[in-house]
């Protein structure tokens, strides 16, 4: 996960939790139970509680459920949902997948993308397989995804290389 942050917020990976907990910060997430990104945000809140007891209650109460739910406002069709949320100033910080954060930054210049420190990080692991009997183009695609060129493209969108 990553944090998308308004340009005027002074935040680093080191002061991230302290900033999240600040009463002046509007913290946005996706909707837990409706969007896995929201579920991951709540897992991050649980990890925060281990580091600083009481954090889960504070963060879960203050979290603004801005995307992924049945009643969430929809962005214009030509906008990235997370970039739009930040561009409309609906949150000071928004927790989401790093791939979403990178796309949001491309959509909305000026917003910051901040890495979550390891002690708070919630990681999603993805797999790649080729089904037996799949067409030749399927294994060609798999090989391309695993190639340096494919890994470079995935890295551009916030995914870690396969070797990590």
The reported pLDDT for the residue numbered 129 is 87
Contacts 24+ apart (CB under 8 A), 99-106: 99/157, 99/158, 99/159, 100/2, 100/4, 100/37, 100/158, 101/2, 101/3, 101/4, 101/158, 102/2, 102/156, 102/157, 102/158, 103/157, 103/158, 104/4, 104/80, 105/4, 106/80
Range with the poorest average pLDDT among 19-33, 40-54, 122-136: 122-136
Report the pLDDT averaged over residues 103-129.
Answer: 90
Task: Please identify, in words, the CATH class of the domain defined by 2-115.
Answer: alpha beta
Report the pLDDT averaged over residues 98-124.
Answer: 91
- pLDDT category at 163 given cuts 50, 70, 90 is low
Given a cut of 90, is residue 62 above it in pLDDT? Answer: yes
- pLDDT category at 158 given cuts 50, 70, 90 is confident
Q: Are 86 and 92 in contact (CB under 8 A)?
A: no
- pLDDT category at 54 given cuts 50, 70, 90 is very high
Rounded to the nearest 5 degrees, what angle is found at the Cα of 56, between the Cα atoms of 59 and 51? Answer: 115
Given a cut of 70, is residue 116 above it in pLDDT? Answer: yes
How does pLDDT run across 11-28, given as a tens digit for each residue?
999 999 999 999 999 999
Given a cut of 60, is residue 111 above it in pLDDT? Answer: yes
**What is the token pair recorded at 119?**
């002690």
Given a cut of 70, is residue 164 above it in pLDDT? Answer: no
pTM confidence score: 0.83
Residues of the chain with CATH 3.40.190.10: 2-115
């Amino acid at each position: 996960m990553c944090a998308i942050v308004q340009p005027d917020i002074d935040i680093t990976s080191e002061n991230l939790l302290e900033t999240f907990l600040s009463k002046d910060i509007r913290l946005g997430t996706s909707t837990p139970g409706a969007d896995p990104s929201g579920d991951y945000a709540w897992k991050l809140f649980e990890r925060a509680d281990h580091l600083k007891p009481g954090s889960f209650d504070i963060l879960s109460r203050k979290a603004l459920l801005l995307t992924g739910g049945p009643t969430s406002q929809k962005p214009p069709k030509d906008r990235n949902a997370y970039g739009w949320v930040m561009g409309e100033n609906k949150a000071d910080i928004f927790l989401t997948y790093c791939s979403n954060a990178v796309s949001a930054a491309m959509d909305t210049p000026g917003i910051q993308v901040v890495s979550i420190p390891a002690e708070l990080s919630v990681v999603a692991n993805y797999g790649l397989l080729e089904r037996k009997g799949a067409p030749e183009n399927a294994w060609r695609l798999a090989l391309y995804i695993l190639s340096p060129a494919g890994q470079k493209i995935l890295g551009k969108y916030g995914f870690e290389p396969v070797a990590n």
